[in-house]
Amino acid sequence: MTNQWTNREILRSYFMGMIDLQIEYIDKYPDSDNQYRRDNEPFIREIKRVLDEFSLKLTPELKDMYKLKYREKRAFGEFYNVVAPTSYIVALNNELNAIVSKIERPQARLYA
């Protein structure tokens, strides 16, 4: 298993609730210590912090749009001019991708 994360994988994990589950697991088992955890725990917590800050400025409709996009693989085109104006959704997506791109990833490794 490798630990390479693309922007899409990060967003999908966040909006599907997987990041919350990983943090819950990390907090539940603090004594579990291995190289994968040491490499990825700060990264997982940073994803949560950064994307929670971004989500605070979203309306409930926009949050639902992102959840549907990443949970059910629905196209953003379904939401244009329904949830918000097309230009606003495009601008949000650009901002979100820029934010995620700035998150420092752990060094790529192969875990056995």
> Looking at the domain assignment, is residue 1 inside a domain?
no
Q: Within the chain, how many helices (H) and strands (E) appear?
A: 5, 0
d(CA 44, CA 66): 19
> Looking at the domain assignment, is residue 112 inside a domain?
no
> Looking at the domain assignment, is residue 2 inside a domain?
no
Domain with 27, as residue range(s), is 7-102
Domains in the chain, number: 1
> Looking at the domain assignment, is residue 62 inside a domain?
yes
> Looking at the domain assignment, is residue 54 inside a domain?
yes
pLDDT of residue 1: 43
Tens digits of per-residue pLDDT, 24-48? 998 998 887 787 788 889 999 999 9
Tens digits of per-residue pLDDT, 53-109? 999 999 999 999 999 999 999 998 999 999 999 999 999 999 999 999 999 988 776
pTM assigned to the model: 0.86
> Looking at the domain assignment, is residue 107 inside a domain?
no
Q: How many residues does the chain have?
A: 112
